[in-house]
Structure 1
Amino acid sequence: MAILEIVKSPSTLLTQRCKEVKKFDKKLARLLDDMYETMVDADGVGLAAPQVGELLRVAIVDLGEGDDVIEMVNPVITAIGGSEIEVEGCLSFPGLYGEVERPFYVKVEAQERDGSLYELEAEDYEARAILHEIDHLDGILFDTKIKRIVDPEEFEQVDEEGETE
């Protein structure tokens, strides 16, 4: 496995719609493994293929809560519900945080690295992370959805007060 370079805004790679994966082979498996390694190294919770220079419909999410890593190949959103505004950041926008409104619930159909189909339902932070990564696959960046920019010092104040989000 290798740690890949994360593509940063304003690269045009980030604003292009990605191509559907047609070959489920060792190259795809290596990409998924490298993306995971890169995401962990960057202390992220999700990463999409265009963020490492690959215009493929591939994304991963790992909340680090003992759950399995979610690998999504050719994901399609089949249902959404609810709405909430929470603070988001993005590995392609270092230091930028903002309040973004997203659905509270999402249902997704996707493929595993071997091409088999599966369905996934998620809520709250997990749904937010999945939707953020699928946006990347459509060339939609979170900075276009920010309702209010949040200063990183606001996080430090919350930590000092002993509160968590």
Structure 2
Amino acid sequence: MSQVREIAQLGAEVLRLQAKEVKNMHADEMQLIADDMFTTLADTNGVGIAAPQISASWRMMILSAPDGMIVSRRRREICQSEVRDSARGRLKFYPE
């Protein structure tokens, strides 16, 4: 079950760490973190959140978009995306 997590504030150690690369977005741990990120983002009425902001040191972020949510684990911009329907609406997953 997902939960609202506390947002790490400026100066928090987790925000200074080099986040780990996500090798498998479909791993149970990544799914739990993503669920918590969605829940926390919705609770804060924000437009985006990165995993380190909820004290999970992984390279993953979620952004609100007009047609759904964008889930990315890459820093660089990628042009192609895959759109999937989910319980939370439409999600875009960037390819490897």
TM-score by length of 1: 0.45
The offset of 1:111, in angstroms, is 9.0
Write the mapping of 1:87-126 to structure 2, written as runs, cut at 5 A.
Answer: 107-108=77-78, 118=95
Matches within 5 A, 1:13-162: 13-23=14-24, 24-63=26-65, 65=66, 67-73=67-73, 75-77=74-76, 107-108=77-78, 118=95
Structure showing the higher helix proportion among its residues: 1
Matches within 5 A, 1:3-22: 3-22=4-23
Q: CA RMSD in A?
A: 2.6
Q: Secondary structure at the match of 1:60?
A: strand
The answer as to whether partners of 2:51 and 2:61 remain within 8 angstroms in 1 is yes
What is the total number of aligned residue pairs between the two structures? 84
Preserved contact between residue 13 and residue 55 of structure 1 (Cα < 8 Å): yes
Percent of counterpart pairs with the same letter? Answer: 30
SS at match of 2:78: strand
- For residues 50-91 of structure 1, what are the alpha-carbon distances to aligned partners after superposition, in whole Å with 9 as ceiling and x for unaligned? 00011101100014x3x1210012x041xxxxxxxxxxxxxx
User: Secondary structure of 1:36's partner?
Assistant: helix
Where does the alignment leave 5 or more consecutive residues of structure 1 unmatched? 78-106, 120-165
**Distance in 1 separating the partners of 2:56 and 2:80:** 18
Structure 2 contact 71–94 (Cα < 8 Å) conserved: no
CA distance in structure 1 between the aligned counterparts of 2:70 and 2:38, rounded to whole angstroms:
10
Q: Which runs of 5+ in 2 are unaligned?
A: 83-92
Between Structure 1 and Structure 2, the one with more strand by share is 1
Structure 1 residue 22 displacement after superposition: 2.2
